[in-house]
């Protein structure tokens, strides 16, 4: 993304009947287009090549341990927020085969598959908190001493069509984490859906040379002062409708000095150690390497796959696990997200997307847990 500052800030109008042209343009440029669509009664991310796959007229309801999508007459193209999927599944696949081997006449040999082209995606409908999450994962996979090539190859050529949030979910708290509801950078084009009785359009802000090319290719009209005022009002309204909030002041010190707080046992008694929170979290990056064989023992495979600090094996260090209780595992996860991540990577590991709250089967809420510890904190 190397647009000049003036190009980066230009605002246009994208009509709803131009969404297909946007998808077509990106596909002609060689991108595989991925975006929100409906499957199994939920908004998920998948490859899409048709504007009709985007769930028009759908809104979502989210609360702790609760998710529903509903058809609503007044809902637009992006009247829901994030679901259980995040873009990390495209940038760091949940399971990836590193190598395969087979046994023939007692001899083991490596199976070399034809190299597959690395998919380059255009992500359509990326929320501001998700742009922040991708930036967090960049720090982990790209900016440290060990660069992850699998991630780098996928990350290096993505296009991001962001969508600013107009209808935050019941578990969203991006305002507290300063990651939304408006995308400020990190996108090629950012859309804000304006939906009124007789008007349905997107205000499109260019954020890169690609964004400028899209505006030219689709012959987008410049946004009028009224359009820009409506966009600002939409974002302001959204900022005032966050379902959750969290006090982040001195949160690193707060959690570090409360490692023995009784609240960790309270949450540990409820936690099922199912790892849902880490699977849905767009910033969680832990993985493991696993060897498997088929039932005959004739083929073997080494894969890397997502792992979770909520599994007991994850903290296994010669002789046993070091985090043996649910309370220790939850404390480790939450303290890492909100506190020690700042020491490690210079940013919070939480972007306020709310997924871990919505998809926790027992409704454990990171904002509630942080508030409970703050309310009866040990020491200063």
Q: Contacts with ligand SF4 in 92-111 (CB under 6 A)?
A: none
Candidates 353, 365, 369, 370; binder of ligand SF4 (CB under 6 A) is 353
E strand segments, the chain: 11-15, 32-39, 42-47, 58-63, 66-71, 95-104, 107-111, 121-126, 159-163, 189-196, 199-206, 221-222, 287-293, 299-306, 316-317, 320-321
Q: Contacts with ligand SF4 in 199-218 (CB under 6 A)?
A: none
Of 50-58, 225-233, 271-279, 287-295, the window that binds ligand SF4 (rule: CB under 6 A) is 271-279
Of 38-46, 105-113, 230-238, 350-358, the window that binds ligand SF4 (rule: CB under 6 A) is 350-358
Q: Is 362 in the site for ligand SF4 (CB under 6 A)?
A: yes
Nearer to ligand SF4, 183 or 356 (CB): 356
Nearer to ligand SF4, 59 or 136 (CB): 136
Quick one: angle between helices 326-335 and 263-270, nearest 10? Answer: 110
* Residue 65, Cβ density class (10 Å: 0-12 exposed, 13-18 middle, ≥19 buried): middle
Find the shortest distance in angstroms from Cβ 280 to ligand SF4.
Answer: 6
Q: Is 355 in the site for ligand SF4 (CB under 6 A)?
A: yes
Paired tokens of 99: 């190598």
* Residue in 14, 13, 87 with CA at minimum distance from that of residue 45: 87
Q: Is 251 in the site for ligand SF4 (CB under 6 A)?
A: no
Q: Is 126 in the site for ligand SF4 (CB under 6 A)?
A: no
* Residue 120, Cβ density class (10 Å: 0-12 exposed, 13-18 middle, ≥19 buried): middle
The helix/strand/coil state of 199 is strand
Paired tokens of 188: 């090629």
Find the shortest distance in angstroms from Cβ 82 to ligand SF4.
Answer: 8
Q: Is 274 in the site for ligand SF4 (CB under 6 A)?
A: yes
Candidates 23, 275, 309, 373; binder of ligand SF4 (CB under 6 A) is 275
Of 45-53, 111-119, 185-193, 347-355, the window that binds ligand SF4 (rule: CB under 6 A) is 347-355
CA atoms within 13 A on the CB side of 87: 31
Q: Is 352 in the site for ligand SF4 (CB under 6 A)?
A: yes
Q: For residue 50, what is the enclosing H or E element?
A: none
CA atoms within 13 A on the CB side of 276: 19
Q: Contacts with ligand SF4 in 311-340 (CB under 6 A)?
A: 330, 337
Candidates 90, 141, 285, 310; binder of ligand SF4 (CB under 6 A) is 310
Of 19-27, 201-209, 255-263, 268-276, the window that binds ligand SF4 (rule: CB under 6 A) is 268-276
* Residue in 251, 87, 85 with CA at minimum distance from that of residue 177: 251
- Residue 352 region, left (φ>0) first, then alpha (ψ -120 to 50), else beta? left
The helix/strand/coil state of 51 is helix
Find the shortest distance in angstroms from Cβ 217 to ligand SF4.
Answer: 34
Q: Is 281 in the site for ligand SF4 (CB under 6 A)?
A: yes
Q: Is 81 in the site for ligand SF4 (CB under 6 A)?
A: no
Find the shortest distance in angstroms from Cβ 272 to ligand SF4.
Answer: 4
Four-CA torsion 89, 91, 93, 96, nearest 10 degrees: 180
Chain residues binding ligand SF4 by CB under 6 A are 271-277, 280-283, 310, 330, 337, 350-356, 360-362, 364, 366
């Amino acid at each position: 993304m190397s647009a000049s500052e003036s190009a980066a800030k230009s605002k246009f109008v994208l009509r709803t009947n131009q969404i297909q042209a946007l998808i077509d343009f990106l596909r002609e440029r060689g991108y595989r287009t991925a975006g929100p669509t409906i499957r199994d009664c939920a908004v998920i991310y998948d490859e899409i090549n048709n504007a009709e796959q985007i769930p028009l007229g759908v809104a979502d309801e989210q609360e702790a341990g609760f998710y529903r999508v509903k058809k609503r007459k007044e809902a637009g193209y992006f009247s829901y927020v994030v679901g259980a999927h995040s873009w990390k599944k495209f940038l760091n696949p949940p399971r990836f085969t590193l190598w395969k081997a087979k046994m023939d006449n007692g001899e083991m040999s490596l199976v070399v598959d034809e190299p597959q082209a690395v998919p380059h995606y255009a992500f359509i409908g990326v929320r501001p908190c998700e742009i922040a999450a991708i930036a967090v994962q960049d720090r982990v996979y790209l900016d440290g001493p060990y660069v992850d090539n699998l991630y780098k190859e996928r990350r290096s050529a993505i296009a991001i069509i962001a969508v600013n949030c107009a209808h935050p979910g019941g578990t969203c708290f991006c305002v507290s984490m300063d990651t939304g509801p408006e995308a400020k950078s990190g996108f090629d084009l950012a859309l804000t859906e304006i939906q009124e009785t007789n008007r349905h359009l997107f205000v499109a802000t260019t954020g890169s040379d690609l964004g400028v090319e899209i505006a030219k290719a689709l012959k987008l009209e410049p946004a009028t002062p009224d359009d820009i005022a409506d966009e600002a009002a939409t974002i302001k309204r959204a900022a005032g409708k966050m379902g959750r909030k969290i006090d982040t002041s001195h949160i690193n010190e707060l959690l570090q000095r409360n490692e023995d707080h009784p609240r960790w046992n309270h949450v540990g008694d409820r936690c099922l150690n199912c790892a849902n929170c880490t699977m849905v979290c767009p910033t969680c990056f832990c993985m493991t390497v696993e060897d498997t064989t088929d039932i005959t023992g004739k083929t073997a495979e080494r894969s890397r796959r997502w792992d979770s600090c909520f599994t007991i094996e994850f903290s296994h260090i010669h002789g046993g696990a070091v985090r043996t209780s649910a309370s220790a595992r939850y404390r480790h996860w939450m303290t890492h997200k909100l506190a020690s991540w700042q020491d490690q990577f210079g940013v919070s590991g939480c972007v306020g997307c709310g997924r871990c709250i919505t998809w926790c089967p027992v409704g454990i809420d990171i904002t509630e847990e942080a508030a409970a510890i703050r309310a009866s904190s040990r020491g200063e």
